[in-house]
Homo-oligomer: A and B are copies of this chain.
């Protein structure tokens, strides 16, 4: 079924449907994505003020069979927010719907419009002495609706879950323009199919999230942070298991670092203080957030001692000040920027069952070696089995000389991930960049069910055309 462009006749059809103040010029930023892999085409940009305007716009788009591209903070890494081809779409930005509707500290709930910037949601929670745990690199510009539409992850998933796990209720406009009021603050509600989780992670292809009720958590009384040198990725997994036995849910983050990444940091961002004079082959950044009855530094020291006895750690540093803690985190948080400056041939956001993760890393090295002398920076949310597995040209080489190998390397890494029963998109989603990968690696029965659901809820295919499913 072919779509129509958001042309002048469509604009004319909106006359009186929404105020003209809804429309804004399509600045270039609405057509770019962070890694510059896709360029969106222009179209009509609408920035509605409220859910009723969203509803009116989508009803009109559905009637006119015009594609709608929902737009949050524009920080997605798989191109769900830009539509490079096809009839010019209606770009629907939630930027004006950024109001925090309510904070319920006694319920550990915050209710916010979808256009609120993630950092503002965090700040509103903190203002009520609560923690909104979703935390990721782009939190200063990502908007919560986009975080939910892509089921965003980040550094606190290990303890608090991903965006999906933090959501209690949604308000959303479905592809026919109807408003679903599912903005419940309930912890338990078994009344019918889980429409909330169906919309979460559907990347705007089944509707537009306009508001959400989200879980908050108590702010841990004290935080402790360490970087521990481990002899191997296997030891990192065992260390996590030990830490869980000793500290329960108190582990907020558990991130893997590889020597290659630390060297990239030295090379590209020399002002970042390195934790060790000689970058260790493997290390983990661990953070505890504990109740007042426990001293995090003492607990980290205990953990280190027990782990040392079991051969799971070789060396370690426990942050002794807030500044030191910030320094440790800077190493982790600046890693994507260092990678960007070095320039990868191929980068991958994968997850592997924890028990198979060490085997994957070993086999990955062999696989990449088959392509030449590449450098691998394999790092990330190892506690969730989620690795950012990025492949770079040899030192001193020109990336352009290797980029022709990118496709084959990506394919080999993804094949390996599939062999290990992993996922080719752990936290970034499918967007437009991984549609082919989903078709290749996705379960065919699931894909067919997805298509049936898409056709049922959006029979004209107006919602985010070309994202997730080719249809």
Contact = CB atoms under 8 A, between A and B. Distances in A.
Contacts of A384: 187-188
Contacts of A104: 353-355
B291 A293 contact: no
Interface string A419-458: 0011111111110001000100111011111101111110
Nearest to A160: B249
Interface string A211-248: 00000001010000000000000000110010011111
A442 B250 contact: no
A73 interface: no
A143 interface: no
A280 interface: no
A186 B218 contact: no
A253 interface: no
B237 A106 contact: yes
Given A106-B354, A174-B445, A178-B448, A427 B188 contact: yes
A151 interface: yes
Contacts of A237: 106
A193 B107 contact: no
A168 to B, nearest CB: 9
B193 A450 contact: yes
A374 B426 CA distance: 54
B457 A354 contact: no
Determine the interface band of chain A, counting residues with CB < 8 A from chain B. 35 or more
A188 B384 CA distance: 7
Nearest to A206: B193
A190 B181 contact: no
A448 B192 CA distance: 11
A198 interface: yes
B187 A351 contact: yes
Contact of A190 (B294, B352, B425, B449): B425
A153 B245 CA distance: 25
B194 A107 contact: no
A195 interface: yes
A262 interface: no
A40 to B, nearest CB: 21
A245 to B, nearest CB: 5
Contacts of A109: 353-354
Contact of A179 (B381, B428, B445): B445
7 contacts: A180-B449, A184-B423, A186-B353, A187-B384, A247-B291, A248-B290, A250-B291
Given A180-B445, A188-B426, A249-B249, 6 more contacts: A189-B423, A189-B425, A189-B426, A192-B430, A220-B248, A250-B291
Interface of A: 104, 106-109, 150-151, 153, 157, 162, 164-165, 174, 178-182, 184-195, 197-198, 200-202, 206, 218, 220, 237-238, 241, 244-250, 290-294, 299, 302, 351-355, 381, 384-386, 421-430, 434, 438, 441-443, 445-450, 452-457, 468-469
* 4 closest A-B pairs by CB: A456-B456, A197-B197, A249-B249, A189-B423
